[in-house]
Amino acid sequence: MSGPSWRWIVLAILVLIAIWISYDYFSYRKVSTLDAFAKCTNEKGARMYGAWWCPHCAEQKDQFGFAFQHVNYVECGIEGQTHSENEQCKRSGVHNFPTWEFADGSRKEGALSLSELSQRTGCKLP
């Protein structure tokens, strides 16, 4: 009589573990309505140069939300050093943040609206 009860307990534990793993996986996988737009800007050659200490860069990132992970982003700040710039960005000639660089080589300084990014890249907003 003790045999079947242990099987049910083990089965219940396995089911709970499966539910926990599924929840954990899907809760970290954030999906944004701007994912396709952000991926498109990347595919069209747009690149954002920014710095961790830059408030306008933070505003620009916030516009994309979770979709920012798909933006071609270059971190120019040196960790722990406010208002510092790494060599890669200095060599690229980036002095103000954020700076957007486009496939045709043109640049635009400052946080851009998503509609302006859409116009410059040809990517459609949702």
Do 13 and 67 share a structural domain?
A: no
First to last CA, the chain: 60
Q: Taking the CA of residue 94 as centre, how many other CA atoms within 13 Å lie in the half-sphere pointing to its CB?
A: 27
* Number of structural domains found in the chain: 2
On whether residue 126 sits in a domain, the answer given is no
CATH number assigned to the domain comprising residue 116: 3.40.30.10
User: How would you write the pLDDT of the chain (126 residues) with one tens digit per residue?
Assistant: 455 688 888 888 888 888 887 776 665 555 679 999 999 999 999 999 999 999 999 999 999 999 999 999 999 999 888 888 999 999 999 999 999 999 999 999 999 999 999 999 999 999
Do 70 and 112 share a structural domain?
A: yes
In whole angstroms, what is the distance from residue 122 CA to residue 45 CA? 11
Do 78 and 23 share a structural domain?
A: no
Q: By residue range, what is the domain housing residue 80?
A: 35-121
The whole-number pLDDT of residue 27 equals: 56
Do 48 and 14 share a structural domain?
A: no
Q: How far is CA 70 from the centre of its chain?
A: 5
Under a CB-based contact definition with an 8 Å cutoff, are residues 59 and 110 in contact?
no
pTM score of the predicted model: 0.74
Q: How many residues does the chain have?
A: 126
Do 19 and 53 share a structural domain?
A: no
